Structure 1
Amino acid sequence: MTLFGVLFALPWIVGLLLFHAFPLIMSAYYSMTSYSILEPGEWVGFANYKTLFQDEVFWISIYNTLYYTVIFVPLSIVVGIILALLLNLKIRGQGIYRTLFFIPSLVPPIATTIIWLWLLNPQFGLVNYWLDKIGIAGPPWIGSEFWSKPSLILMSLWGTGQAVVIYLAGLQDIPQDYYDAAHVDGAGPWQRTRTITLPLLTPVIFFNLIMGTIGALQNFVLPYALTNGQGTPANSMMFYVMYLYRNGFGYLKMGYASAMAWILFLIVVLLTAIIFSSQKRWVHYQGKE
């Protein structure tokens, strides 16, 4: 029986070893070399890592990525929960509203970029047009070193539909009996939300926090498309994975890029471990209290 089990699992095992384990091992090796794709790599030890820590753009890319992660992830959680609570209300046309809020997450990133480049255009963009109508001078948005990352966060929040669906599933998994009992005890809507909904939704929040953090640290497509891979203005949109891609496929410094990939891997592991270690203090599972 064991043999048959291994045979059935063999395609997956081969795929895991060939497309995941082998590239992982090779990237660790190449991070210790001056490999440029066009010629065999020369062993340089930890020289790539030492050079990285002296690279100004490397530190800028870390700052930009952490700035985006620290602001976007909590905002996406708050916005996602609020939208899920609203979309969970028993109102007429509920399915239509849910569909409308989910559709933006289905739009290809390049199409999203084109849409927002038009919306945030400082001269004729729709956002600045309406801001001007209420007497507010619109900022230059993507064209400004100060406003570029907030602009990107705004664009990213537009696609929180997938997280909203997960929050909705979590809301519908909360037993109605809890709300009925709280209502009998005289608890109002806010009290029920604070004492029942949010605590029992924490496992879902925990999941989205982990996935959102990992995704934000790997942010690439939107800033790359917005700046044509340049990270302008003044490298304010140069994110970590963009700089990794530029070194690997622009400058053909694949060893240098591999070292960057391993540093990103360690950052992701560290932040994920910190979040996991904190869950005992704030995540509540039904039936385990």
Structure 2
Amino acid sequence: MAVRRREGIAGYTFLSPWLLGLFGITAIPMIGSLILSFTNYDLLSPWSELEWVGVRNYARMFADDPHYVEAVIVTVVFALVAVPLKLGAALGVALLLNRNSRANGLFRGLFYLPSLLGGSVALALVWRAMWSKDGAVNGFLGLFGIEGMNWINEPDWALSTLVVLAVWQFGAPMVIFLAGLKQIPAELYEAASVDGASRARLFWHITLPGLSPVIFFNLVLETINGFQGFTSAYVVSGGTGGPVDSTLMYTLYLYQAGFTDYEMGYASAMAWVFLIAIAVITAIVFSTGKFWVHYGDQS
């Protein structure tokens, strides 16, 4: 018993930094935000004036706030467009780099570099400058006699610039796809080639089924990341979500509610609805996996 007790104490001692982070940074703030979502907390008033408003914040989201509905639509459209394009680009480049070549290491590093920058403010500022009226994109189009526009100020095109930025950062899923391609036995390709299978059949009947667990993994991660986009939308739109709410991502509107309008109770309610929505979407993706994800140990 004494030995077990000492081992238990040692184990919890090593776990203590993680436990402190779990409760101090995650669990307790989450519980606090859940409580605040039922109040009118505004960051400025004293706690003595805190008023319990019940589900009023949640009712306001769906019944009395057109900007909230617009933010949901913008975020869903962004995720539905950016995630498939990003995964498609990552898979396509991974297939091209899945060859024995001395230059592959260099190209992998170059393609992965944008992902290292992540959602940095510096990258978003550069992106905003590139798509401005006098930016690099219009300069390139001018070489072909095409007159460009101020893309980030056009409601019909502003969100597209964010989609392109998200797709451009395909390096992380590309590396995961490359690792998955290396795990597919070469014997399968050799046997199918001997039987006269075309490249399209090899890709459809060997590569895709063999990569399906990796595709599933990337799909889950990129779907969650797609709905959480914030920095690029904030910087490109100047924190407004404009023009005409065309880049008003959900997280950006949540930030505006909490730290611009000081409606922290309402922002907390938005955060919990967002959490539940992502959990439901992730559960739906997981429920579809049994129909198209194939593992090597399955008969």
Q: Which range, TM-score by smaller chain? A: over 0.9
Report the Cα distance in structure 2 between the residues aligned to 1:73 and 1:46, rounded to whole angstroms. Answer: 33
- Superposition map of 1:16-31 within 5 A: 16-31=22-37
CA distance in 2, matches of 1:11, 1:271: 31
Does 2:48 align with 1:63? no
- 1:33/1:255 contact within 8 Å kept: yes
Q: Cα RMSD (Å) of the superposition? A: 1.6
After superposition, where does 1:37-186 map in structure 2 within 5 Å? 37-38=43-44, 39-40=46-47, 41-53=50-62, 54-107=64-117, 109-122=120-133, 124-186=134-196
Task: Give 1:115 deviation, angstroms.
Answer: 2.4
Equivalence for 1:288: 298
Q: After superposing the two structures, state which structure 1 stretch, 177-186 or 141-150, moved more.
A: 177-186
Moved more, 174-183 or 54-63: 174-183
CA drift of 1:135 comes to 4.3
Given that 1:120 and 1:142 are in contact with CA atoms closer than 8 Å, whether structure 2 keeps it comes out as yes
Structure 1-normalised TM-score?
0.94
Aligned residues between the structures: 288
Q: Where does residue 284 of structure 2 map in the other structure?
A: 274
Deviation at 1:238, TM superposition (A): 1.0
Q: Do structure 1's residue 203 and structure 2's residue 213 form an aligned pair?
A: yes
Amino acid at match of 1:17: F
Identity of aligned residues (%): 40
User: Is the Cα contact below 8 Å between 2:40 and 2:263 reproduced in 1?
Assistant: yes
Deviations 1:226-252 (A, max 9, x none): 112111111111111111111111111
1:140 offset after TM fit, Å? 3.4
- In structure 2, how many angstroms separate the alpha carbons of the residues matched to 1:182 and 1:91? 24
Q: Which SS does the other structure have where 2:68 is aligned?
A: helix
* 1:219 alignment partner, one of 211, 223, 229: 229
Q: How does 1:216-255 map to 2 (within 5 A)?
A: 216-255=226-265
Moved more, 259-268 or 128-137: 128-137
Cα displacement string for residues 51-110 of structure 1 (whole angstroms, at most 9, x for unaligned residues): 122101111110110010010111111111001111112234111111111111123622
Paired residues of 1:140 and 1:147 also in contact (CA < 8 A): no
The amino acid across from 1:147 in the alignment is W
Return 5+ residue gaps in structure 2 as ranges.
none
- Report Cα offsets for 1:173-205 as digits up to 9, x if no partner: 112221222222222322211111111111111
Name which of structure 1's ranges 59-68 and 49-58 shifts more when overlaid on structure 2: 49-58
Matching residue within 5, 9, 12 for 1:6: 12
CA contact (8 A) 2:86 2:168 kept: no
Q: Which runs of 5+ in 1 are unaligned?
A: none
Distance in 2, Cα, partners of 1:189 & 1:134:
36
- Take 2:222 and 2:155, find their aligned partners in 1: how far apart are those partners? 25
- The AA in structure 2 aligned to 1:166 is I
1:69–1:216 CA contact under 8 A, matched in 2 = yes
Write the distance in 2 (CA, Å) between the matches of 1:114 and 1:256. Answer: 30
Q: Scaled by the length of structure 2, what TM-score is found?
A: 0.91
Does the 8 Å contact 2:83/2:167 carry over to 1?
no
Counterpart contact for 2:127–2:236, Cα < 8 Å: no
CA separation in 2, counterparts of 1:89 and 1:67?
Answer: 35
Q: What SS does the aligned partner of 1:145 have?
A: coil
**Separation in structure 2 between the aligned mates of residue 12 and residue 126 of structure 1, nearest angstrom:** 46
Secondary structure of 2:83 counterpart: helix
